[in-house]
Amino acid sequence: MADEQTYYLGIEATGRTVALLAGPDGEILGEGTATSAVYSVMGQERSSQALWTAIIGAFSSAGINTRDLLQANLPLPDVAAICIGMTGVERPKDESQVRRILDRFNLTKNITVTSDAHIVLEAGCNLENFSDPAYGVAVVAGETGLAFAKGRDGRTARAGGWGYLLGEEGSAYWLGLQAVKVLLRAADGRGDETALAAMVEHEWKIPANRPDSLAQRVYSLLQGLGTGGNKAQLEESQETYKRTLAGLAPLVERAAANGDDVAAAILDEATDHLAEAATAAIARVGLDEPDTAPAPAKSSTFQIGGMAFNLGGSSQSQSKIPFAIYGSVLLSNPGQLRARLQAALPQCDDPIAVLNPAEGAVRLALRSHQGQS
C-alpha cells in the first residue's frame, strides 16, 4: 500500500471489540477483534488494551507490518478519522474518557465517540448512498435493550437501555430474569406450569422441583457485590450475574417456538417494551410525521460485505421508516422476538439485521472527515 493511502477506522465496542480499517471509498481493508472494551464496565486500562489490540489487528490484516513499526518505535500510519460506537457512553464523562484513550494512540485528532445503537442505525438504515446521513430507527436486544432513532433533520433520541437495575427490558438478561420469575411463580401455585422448568434445571444443573435451589443460584451470583472487593471485582460480579441470566434467553425463544404459552407471554411482554421504546424514539425525532420528499426506488434485498440483509420480502417504501436490528435476541435462529417486533411496528419497513455494526462507524468516520454528521 502506498504511503499516501488515506485510512479510516470504525470501531464497535460492545461485548466484543471490532475495528475495521477502511480506504477512502469506504472499502474494508482490514479487521481486528478483541475482548470487550466498554469503558463503563472494563475501566480505562482494560478498555485501552482491548481497543489497541483490535486496531493493531485491523492494520495487520490490511497487510501493514505493525510488528516492525512498533519494534522500531515508529508510529502506525495516520488515519483521517476514527469513529467508535460504544455501549454506555451516554454520560459526558465516559465519552471524554474514551476520546482521551483514542487520542493517546496518536492516530488522528478527528475522533467521534457515539453509542453502539447509533452505528447500528448507520449500518442498517442507509444501504443506498453511504455518503448521505442515515435516518430511521434501530432496536438493540442482546446485552442491552433499547431503541435509537435519527430524524431526517439529524435529530437523535434514545429510549430504554438504562442498565440492569433500572430497565433493560427486552434484553437477553431481562428475558432470563423473567424466566426465573415465572418458574418461581409456578412453584408457588401463582402461575402456569411451563416447559421452561426442565430446560432451566438442565441448563443450570440444579435439582428438579427445587425452587429454593433456583432462587439460591440467582442470589449466589450477586454475592460478590457485597464483599467489599475492588472496582474490577465488583464489575466482574455484575457482568457474571447478567451474563448467566442472559444465557437463559435462548431457552425462552426455544420454548415459545415449541408452543409454550408462558414463554410466549414473556416474548410478548418484551415485544411491548421494545416497540414502545422504538415508537417513543421515532416520535421524538419527528419520523412519525409524513415525509413529503420523493423517495428513490429501492430493491427488496441487500447484501453488503455480509453486513446486513433484509428479513422481509417487500421493498422499502416512501411511507415506511427504515428499521435496523441488532443483538443476540433479535438475530437468533428461532426469530420469535424478531417476528413479533416486526409485526408490532407496522410504521417501519422490513427490518435489516446488522451483523457488523463497525461498518456503520466507518461511514460516520468518512462523513466526519468530509465535515458531515
**Is 219 within 8 Å of 159 (Cβ atoms)?**
no
Whether residue 176 is contained in a domain is answered as yes
Query: 52-56, 127-131, 158-162, 367-371: which range is least confident on average?
Result: 127-131
Domain boundary among 237, 256, 275: 256
Q: Does 3 share its domain with 105? A: yes
Helix (H) or strand (E) holding 51: helix 39-61
Full-model pTM: 0.85
pLDDT for 291-349, tens place per residue? 654 444 444 444 444 444 454 444 444 589 999 999 999 998 888 999 999 999 999 99
**Amino acid 101: pLDDT:** 94
Q: Report the pLDDT value the prediction gives residue 66, as an integer from 0 to 100.
A: 86
d(CA 215, CA 183): 10
Residue 314 lies in a domain: no
State residue 318's pLDDT score.
Answer: 56
The answer on pLDDT for 226 being more than 70 is: no
Is the pLDDT at 4 greater than 80, yes or no?
A: no
Q: For residue 130, what pLDDT is reported?
A: 63
pLDDT at 27 over 60: yes
Are 326 and 137 in contact by the 8 Å Cβ rule? The answer is no
212 falls within a domain: yes
176 exposure class (CB count in 10 Å sphere: 0-12, 13-18, 19+):
buried
Last residue of a domain, one of 54, 81, 109: 109
Can you tell me the mean pLDDT for 355-359?
Answer: 94
- Residues 84, 186: one domain? no
- Rg over alpha carbons for the chain, rounded to the nearest Å, is 22
Burial class of residue 82 in the structure, from the number of CB atoms within 10 Å of its CB (0-12 exposed, 13-18 middle, 19+ buried): buried
Contacts of residue 371, defined as CB under 8 A and 6 or more positions apart, other chains included, come to none
The span from the CA of 190 to the CA of 76, in Å, is 62
Determine contact, residues 308/124, Cβ cutoff 8 Å: yes
Q: First CA to last CA across the chain, in angstroms? A: 29
Please tell me whether residues 7 and 79 are part of one structural domain. yes
In terms of domains, do 81 and 184 share one? no
**pLDDT score at 205:** 93
- The answer to the question of residue 147 being in a domain is no
Domain contains 77 = yes
Indicate if 2 and 79 belong to the same structural domain.
yes
With CA atoms as reference, report the closest residue to 204 among 195, 213, 193: 213
Number of domains in the chain: 2
Pair 340, 301: CB distance under 8 Å? no
Q: Is residue 328 part of a domain?
A: no
- Output the domain CATH number for residue 75: 3.30.420.40
* Residue 3 · residue 39 · CB < 8 Å: no
Q: Are residues 89 and 4 in the same domain?
A: yes
Q: What is the DSSP letter of 302?
A: -
Q: Cα 207 from chain centroid? A: 35
Q: What's the pLDDT at 314? A: 43
Q: Does residue 11 sit in the same domain as residue 105?
A: yes
35 touches 236 (CB < 8 A) = no
Is the CB of residue 138 less than 8 Å from the CB of residue 326?
yes
Kindly state whether residues 97 and 9 are assigned to the same domain: yes
Q: What is the mean pLDDT of residues 89-116?
A: 89
Each residue of 59-80: pLDDT tens digit?
999 998 888 888 888 888 889 9
Instruction: Determine the length of the chain.
Output: 373
Separation between Cα atoms, residue 206 and residue 126, nearest integer Å: 47
DSSP codes, 148-177: EEE-TTS-EEEEE---TTT--TTSHHHHHH
pLDDT per residue over 240-295, tens digit each?
888 999 999 999 999 999 999 999 999 999 999 999 999 999 999 999 877 654 44
**pLDDT, tens only, 147-157:** 999 999 999 99
Residue 232: the pLDDT is 65
Is residue 349 one of the residues assigned to a domain? no
Please give the angle made by the CA atoms of 122, 128 and 131, to the nearest 5 degrees. Answer: 60
Q: Are residues 103 and 16 in the same domain?
A: yes
Choice between 34 and 288, residue whose per-residue pLDDT is larger: 34
Distance CA 342, CA 165 (A): 27
> Could you tell me the pLDDT band of residue 40, with boundaries at 50, 70 and 90?
confident
Q: Is the pLDDT of residue 6 over 90?
A: no
- Region 30-40: mean pLDDT is 92
Euclidean distance between CA atoms 261 and 62, whole angstroms: 50
Instruction: For residue 117, give the H/E element and its range.
Output: helix 116-124
**pLDDT tens for each residue of 161-207:** 888 888 889 999 999 999 999 999 999 999 999 999 999 999 999 99
The residue ranking higher by pLDDT, 353 or 291, is 353
Q: Which domain holds residue 178?
A: 172-256
Domain boundary among 215, 238, 256: 256
Given this model, what pLDDT does residue 301 score? 40
Residue 237 is predicted with a pLDDT of 77
Give me the residue label for grid cell 460492545. 14
Distance CA 82, CA 76 (A): 14
Residues contacting 86, CB < 8 A, separation 6+: 11, 13, 14, 37, 38, 39, 98, 113, 114, 115, 116
Cell 481486528 locates to 32
pLDDT of residue 128: 66
Residue 266 covered by a domain: no
